[in-house]
Chains A and B, each alone.
Chain A
Amino acid sequence: MRIFVPATFLVLLALAVAAPGLITGVDPLAADPLRALAPPGADHWFGSDHLGRDVLSRVVYGARHSLTIGVTATVLAVTAGVLLGLAAGLSPKWLDETLARSFDVLSTLPELLLALLVIAITGPGTVNVIVAIAVAQIPNYARVIRAQTFVVRHAAYVEQAVTFGRSRLAITAGHVLPNVLGPIPVLATIGLGTAVIAASGLSFLGMGPQPPAAEWGAMLSEARNYLRVAWWEALFPGIAITLTVVCLTVVGRRLQRRFEGRTP
């Protein structure tokens, strides 16, 4: 099955996040200047970097940083996006229009640019990167949820709940919300890939976790100075980022095809 390979990789990735010690026993921060820039070999499978740290270990531990940022940002963006989209979909026209147009304006800006703008205001740091990415992704979710809300709020079962005498809040929470969430798992899986890229990108620019933290984007940033002498220092974190994003997207698209047309 085509889904098997990417899924296996994602499981491995999850393991790296949860218990990196199980994959590699080497400390990602242990520098050994004498063995700096060693090519891939028996001692260092992925080679060592300019400070003599094990690249494999840094890539494995780096998953924690990159994915934590990605996942947290996605969760934040989904939560805020769903609430805003739902609010827009249920609001009076003027408020809905205001919210909808602001989603549109935000969507016109590239996500990374928007995230940089937020960083420019808040300053660098892991938490700020998370917030920046989340803000940049909110419109994606909010727009979809708003459209779904329009459909669901006129559904017969929502009207039926009105005839039972249920309150507006109870109907929104009990009937509207669960039925607008359909596309979210798929969107979030794909969105997670984008968030990981954004996280790496911002770290590459020095906005994210600060050295010596092992973060894929930051690793790339440091490695680019040694690219001519030590290709491995940049190659392996680069592969990690690429594989993560590709696998997330493949799995996400696969889910999308699977659930397509299965609307509530």
Chain B
Amino acid sequence: MTVNAAPPAVRTLLAAEDLRVSFVGTEVVRGISLSVAPGECVAIVGESGSGKSVTARSLLGLAGPGSVVRAGAFRIAGRDALGFGPGDWRRLRGRFAGLVLQDALVSLDPLRTVGAEIGEVLAVHDAVPRARRTERTLELLASVGVPDPAARARQYPHQLSGGLRQRVLIASAIAAEPELIIADEPTTALDVTVQAQILRLLAERKAGGTALLLISHDLAVVASIADRVLVMKDGRTVEEGPTGQVLSAPEHPYTRSLLAAVPSAASRGTRLSTAPPLVGAAARTAGESPAVGGGPRTAAELPPAGGGVRVAGEPPPVGRAVSRAWPVLAGVGLSKSYGARTVVDEVSFVLHEGETLGIVGESGSGKTTLARLALGLLEPDAGRVSLHRRPWSGVPERGRRPLRPRIQLISQNPLDSFHPRHTVGRLIAEPLSLSVSASLSASLSASASASRSLSRGERRDRVLDLLARVGLGPEVAGRHPRELSGGQRQRVAIARALGPRPDVLVCDEPVSALDVSIQAQVLDLLAEIQAEYGTAMLFISHDLGVVHHVSDRVLVMKDGQVVEEGDVEQVFTRPRHAYARALVAAVPRLPRARDVNVT
């Protein structure tokens, strides 16, 4: 998609000046000015809580109950929108402006076929005569690239994939042929190849003269389609200008930190966030030498990890960095089927000590099932898993228990993985009560210190140490995870996983639910931890940029099979398999984003 300069604004579809939206006294949008012309794509970029969605919604009179919208000037389609009543807004929506939301599953009525959904828009706006409605519905579905529209129109939203649902949503948004499409995170929930298709679809609409207001947290997505960008933070515009200029030569420090926080090939081995590493805290926890700042893999001088437990009689591997000599976790020929569906098909992998193995793939590729097999939460139908060269699959749970603390999970939604009523302190303490006391020595010759249970006081100290290690204060221990932000919750999850001093961390989409700057902090934290403890990581993500940033080696999965495997640079720069090539090609990229230096 080429980004041309915005066509000369013959007519402004929408212009708001000093737009302010407040909810019960709290102002969430504090003076935004923007205008959209036909055939132009304006993007509003910001992190959660920046007020970007509220801005978009109030432009359609959908700010919600309890909201007060004020503006210096607010013109829509040549009319003054300040005095609009509910009826005026209703006539405007659909006909003049279509709205595309992020989650198509909740935006579509589950009890109606998608054909009926689109037909309703046509009926409400009397876009076409009744007799032609079905025909027009199918035309619309075809125009957004839904294959076999006649069959799809009779299906319900849950029968469609995420990408198809998003297309249906776009089809219903454009059904009444609006002049403006407002798309709020239209591709956030989608796989990268599907995202590329949806972006292409939106770009086609734009080329056809439709104006596009795009709301996104993803700078790369914006880069590929928007003509102008508005960067929002705390309800204000911090920077505004042509896309190329804002993304390659940002003026505001916030824009710069936002750009620097995007993980990618170029960011390998560097810190993403601008916050300093947690050196002091690290030293306290480790009780050993202080954490190594800088790159995560300059690990030659690393101290031996506290949790390094080795099988008696076998030689300890030399060096704590990526030691290819010692496979901590390995799977051979793993298969898992549910009914007739094979979710994981003959997958083999090896995770060496201190190494990060990235697993990428789109939804449904079997990544998470593979993680569950690796964690011993699922038994493979065929193949076997070994942990520390000992059988990990095919053993009774009782036999696995002593080794359980060695391999820990960090999941995408930490809140789901927390007991709903426990405080942070109690959550982190839970694995501690077992990790040290559990009879590790029964199967592994543990170090002398690791064979007694912790006293209450020791456990409390350890919890505070762990909290400090992940950059949280001791006061957090008494709080409930619900009171914490998404990033803080993920830190708590990491602290909990670190408690038993695992050799392997299985990270299943650990940063996918986080804002880019928070994601940067969490990725930095994981890198610090790996550098400090030499923990091996199985890092699962759909985000190729993230995987490129963290991994030493990469496994690309598709339909349950590994289609490509190799060193991270090789996979990302010279992918051999066609699918891997398509995947890498579909990643939206920032223009020269790496020229940006964060100071």
- Chain A residues within 8 Å of B, Cβ to Cβ: 155-157, 159-168, 174-175, 178-179, 264
- Cβ distance A259 to chain B, nearest Cβ, rounded Å: 13
- Cβ distance B496 to chain A, nearest Cβ, rounded Å: 8
Can you give 9 contacting A-B residue pairs, CB < 8 Å?
A: A155-B416, A156-B413, A156-B417, A157-B418, A164-B431, A164-B500, A165-B438, A168-B397, A174-B419
Among A156, A164, A175, A179, which residue has the most Cβ atoms of chain B within 10 A?
A164
A156 touches B377 (CB 8 A): no
- Cβ distance B312 to chain A, nearest Cβ, rounded Å: 20
Q: How far is the CA of A179 from the CA of B500 in the complex (A)?
A: 25
User: In the complex, what residues of B have CB within 8 A of residue A165's CB?
Assistant: 400-405, 431, 434-435, 438
Task: Say if the beta carbon of B375 comes within 8 Å of chain A.
Answer: yes
User: In the complex, what residues of B have CB within 8 A of residue A166's CB?
Assistant: 401, 430, 434
Task: Say if the beta carbon of B317 comes within 8 Å of chain A.
Answer: no
User: In the complex, what residues of A have CB within 8 A of residue B435's CB?
Assistant: 164-165
User: In the complex, what residues of B have CB within 8 A of residue A164's CB?
Assistant: 404-405, 408, 430-431, 434-435, 500
User: In the complex, what residues of A have CB within 8 A of residue B418's CB?
Assistant: 157
Q: How far is the CA of A202 from the CA of B405 in the complex (A)?
A: 56
Task: Say if the beta carbon of B407 comes within 8 Å of chain A.
Answer: yes
Residue on B nearest A162 in the bound complex, by CB: B377
User: In the complex, what residues of A have CB within 8 A of residue B407's CB?
Assistant: 163
B375 touches A163 (CB 8 A): yes
Among A161, A163, A167, A178, which residue has the most Cβ atoms of chain B within 10 A?
A163
Q: How far is the CA of A174 from the CA of B420 in the complex (A)?
A: 12
User: In the complex, what residues of B have CB within 8 A of residue A167's CB?
Assistant: 401
- From the candidates A156, A163, A168, name the one contacting B404 in the complex (CB within 8 A): A163
B416 touches A178 (CB 8 A): no
Q: What 1/0 mask marks residues of chain B from 377 to 411 whose CB sits below 8 Å from any chain A CB? A: 10000000000000000000100111111011101
Q: How far is the CA of A168 from the CA of B404 in the complex (A)?
A: 14
Q: How far is the CA of A167 from the CA of B398 in the complex (A)?
A: 8
- Cβ distance B128 to chain A, nearest Cβ, rounded Å: 41
- Chain B residues within 8 Å of A, Cβ to Cβ: 375-377, 397, 400-405, 407-409, 411, 413, 416-421, 430-431, 434-435, 438, 500
User: In the complex, what residues of B have CB within 8 A of residue A175's CB?
Assistant: 419
User: In the complex, what residues of A have CB within 8 A of residue B421's CB?
Assistant: 178-179, 264
Among B397, B430, B438, which residue has the most Cβ atoms of chain A within 10 A?
B430
Q: Total number of A-B contacts with CB less than 8 angstroms?
A: 58
User: In the complex, what residues of B have CB within 8 A of residue A163's CB?
Assistant: 375-377, 404, 407-409
Among B376, B404, B417, B435, which residue has the most Cβ atoms of chain A within 10 A?
B417
Main SS of chain A's interface residues? helix
Residue on B nearest A152 in the bound complex, by CB: B420
Question: Would you list the 7 A-B pairs with minimal beta carbon distance, nearest first?
Answer: A165-B404, A164-B431, A156-B416, A165-B401, A264-B420, A156-B417, A160-B417
- From the candidates B375, B400, B402, B419, name the one contacting A179 in the complex (CB within 8 A): B419
- Cβ distance A22 to chain B, nearest Cβ, rounded Å: 38
Residue on A nearest B420 in the bound complex, by CB: A264
User: In the complex, what residues of B have CB within 8 A of residue A156's CB?
Assistant: 411, 413, 416-417
Q: How far is the CA of A161 from the CA of B408 in the complex (A)?
A: 10
User: In the complex, what residues of B have CB within 8 A of residue A160's CB?
Assistant: 409, 411, 417
Q: How far is the CA of A261 from the CA of B404 in the complex (A)?
A: 35
Q: How far is the CA of A121 from the CA of B26 in the complex (A)?
A: 67
User: In the complex, what residues of B have CB within 8 A of residue A174's CB?
Assistant: 419
A157 touches B420 (CB 8 A): yes
Q: How far is the CA of A155 from the CA of B408 in the complex (A)?
A: 17
Q: How far is the CA of A47 from the CA of B157 in the complex (A)?
A: 69
> Known contacts A159-B377, A164-B434, A165-B434; is A179 also within 8 Å of B416 by CB?
no
Q: How far is the CA of A174 from the CA of B407 in the complex (A)?
A: 21
- Cβ distance A136 to chain B, nearest Cβ, rounded Å: 32
User: In the complex, what residues of A have CB within 8 A of residue B419's CB?
Assistant: 157, 174-175, 178-179
Q: How far is the CA of A156 from the CA of B397 in the complex (A)?
A: 18
Residue on A nearest B413 in the bound complex, by CB: A156
User: In the complex, what residues of A have CB within 8 A of residue B376's CB?
Assistant: 163
Among B400, B409, B438, which residue has the most Cβ atoms of chain A within 10 A?
B409
- Cβ distance B530 to chain A, nearest Cβ, rounded Å: 19
User: In the complex, what residues of A have CB within 8 A of residue B397's CB?
Assistant: 162, 168
Among A157, A159, A162, A167, which residue has the most Cβ atoms of chain B within 10 A?
A157
- Cβ distance A184 to chain B, nearest Cβ, rounded Å: 14
Q: How far is the CA of A15 from the CA of B167 in the complex (A)?
A: 65
User: In the complex, what residues of A have CB within 8 A of residue B434's CB?
Assistant: 164-166
Residue on B nearest A155 in the bound complex, by CB: B416
User: In the complex, what residues of B have CB within 8 A of residue A155's CB?
Assistant: 416
User: In the complex, what residues of A have CB within 8 A of residue B403's CB?
Assistant: 165
- Cβ distance A171 to chain B, nearest Cβ, rounded Å: 10
- Cβ distance A164 to chain B, nearest Cβ, rounded Å: 4
User: In the complex, what residues of A have CB within 8 A of residue B430's CB?
Assistant: 161, 164, 166
Q: How far is the CA of A166 from the CA of B419 in the complex (A)?
A: 14
Q: How far is the CA of A160 from the CA of B408 in the complex (A)?
A: 9
Q: How far is the CA of A165 from the CA of B438 in the complex (A)?
A: 8
User: In the complex, what residues of B have CB within 8 A of residue A161's CB?
Assistant: 430
Residue on A nearest B411 in the bound complex, by CB: A156
Among A155, A156, A175, A179, which residue has the most Cβ atoms of chain B within 10 A?
A156
